[in-house]
A and B are shown apart, each in its own frame.
Chain A
């Protein structure tokens, strides 16, 4: 046990650096996936058939591919087309795109769950569609979509480890490197697991509090 703590003290600084990269990858790709997801969701609920069809096609395409394959494609194949990205950039963009499909479905479900009377009430006071969306539909849709949205964030924190496959030195990758050079597998991966929990559990707890707060205001 003392050996565990001795090793832990040695490994922790490197793992924490990796954890910082994990946080960066998660936050950036979550933001990117939210933005793309929102655009896809708005396209999908649009009355313009071409738009909604294009959105559905994209969503299915993204959902039908393993995330790792998408990451490999962006990191290893795009350079052949003259698009050079750092591993970090490729990781953030890859995860962001891969998750945008799920975000789009979350948002679409939220938008469609808003009572149709809200749209009519907003139109009846003279609002144009973009304003109806921004002021009336989306704030309510977001509240409805918050539980799956938060869930996606937690999943993303964990799935950010996938970018280790394209050499981004996030926490899992840092652990792998330490483990392969010291053979302290138990210590390293226990620490990695604990560090993931230290990040994800407060997140889960915080999201639940936020949901509770928003729900309380409605009654």
Chain B
């Protein structure tokens, strides 16, 4: 469903991605882990064309991702994205945030857009907050609305860019629960995360990135329990037992 082949990306002199290849099948959940600055988020942003790339190729559903192509808008609406900082539209209510895409991008009739949006808010456990403004919601609630907003476009795959990193610890669980449900329903997901527990439990595969390359990739439990590469071992040791 998503194929990345030898992806190269640079910001000025800094080469952020040095030939990343990754293939994600329909229904698969893949977690990208690695230290900050390793290029995890950039990989994700290349998949829906928020970022351009200089070398290699990204294909989604067989179609080449090109940030400047006319087709990029259709492609983006078939790949949902959830951001670290939620990025809800602050001038619209929770319900309107979810309806925005179906109503204006897909030009769905208002009544059915509203009905579907309510179903999605129900699904993320926020039906009672439909009329709340984003600023009235906790971080965890905002992120769940953001997930509902992405799902409203009926995407074939979902990209999560550190969805719980900006949350207070006690709010992480509610977001992970929603994501777990999605994974169990068979949604294709690529998740950039520092939640190793989530990766172990939900991911089919985990890829460890270090300074722009995938250093190690494999089935979640295997990679997280018995990493082969020294850098992976080092990283996991730090993450799992934070040094004070």
Contact = CB atoms under 8 A, between A and B. Distances in A.
B91 A143 contact: yes
A127 to B, nearest CB: 6
Size bin of chain A's contact surface: 20 to 34
Interface residues of B, number: 27
Nearest to A139: B91
A38 to B, nearest CB: 18
A128 B77 CA distance: 11
Interface in A120-148: 120-128, 131, 135-136, 139-140, 143
A127 B89 CA distance: 13
A38 B210 CA distance: 45
A185 interface: no
Contacts of A140: 89-91
Contacts of A122: 89
A218 interface: yes
Which of B50, B100, B135, B153 has most A Cβ within 10 Å?
A: B100
A105 B100 CA distance: 29
A126 B74 contact: yes
Contacts of B235: none
19 contacts: A115-B87, A120-B81, A121-B89, A123-B73, A124-B81, A124-B150, A125-B76, A125-B100, A125-B149, A125-B152, A125-B153, A126-B73, A127-B73, A127-B104, A128-B73, A143-B91, A217-B133, A218-B90, A218-B135
Interface of B: 48, 50, 73-74, 76-77, 80-81, 83, 85, 87-91, 100-101, 104-105, 133, 135-136, 146, 149-150, 152-153
